């Protein structure tokens, strides 16, 4: 199970700080997934914008701090990848930015 959360409860245009947590679906315990990458794009007619995202492991395994900057409000496609002790994986999801 993967969760994304921030103190304000939503992502906003401009600078953001948020957290990604990886947990076992069976036990709900945090899971160390190793290296994590997150990308964000917003497709518009004739172009695509990219968000600037930096992922840093937190002190607790399975928790990752993200600093991000979104140049525009709207629907962003997020691409999350991980590779480490718990295996390799990826998922895509839509993220709303206000």
Provide the CATH number for the domain around residue 91. 2.60.40.10
Amino acid 54: pLDDT: 97
pTM for the whole structure: 0.90
The domain total for the chain is 1
Give CA–CA dist 98/39, Å, rounded: 18
Amino acid 26: pLDDT: 95
Give me 53's structure tokens.
């995202």
Give CA–CA dist 9/19, Å, rounded: 11
Provide block-wise average pLDDT over 10 residues at a time, the chain (98 residues): 91 96 95 96 89 96 96 95 92 93
Boundaries of domain holding 51:
2-97
Amino acid 87: pLDDT: 85
Amino acid 85: pLDDT: 85
């Amino acid at each position: 199970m993967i969760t994304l959360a921030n103190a304000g409860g939503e992502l906003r245009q401009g600078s953001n700080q948020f957290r990604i947590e990886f947990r076992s679906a069976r036990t709900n315990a945090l899971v160390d997934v190793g290296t994590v990458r997150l990308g964000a794009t917003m497709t518009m007619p004739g172009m695509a914008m990219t968000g600037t995202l930096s992922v840093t492991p937190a002190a607790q395994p399975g928790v990752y701090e993200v600093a991000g900057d979104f140049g525009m409000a709207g629907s962003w496609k997020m691409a999350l990848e991980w590779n480490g002790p718990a295996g390799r994986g990826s998922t895509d999801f839509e993220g709303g930015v206000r």
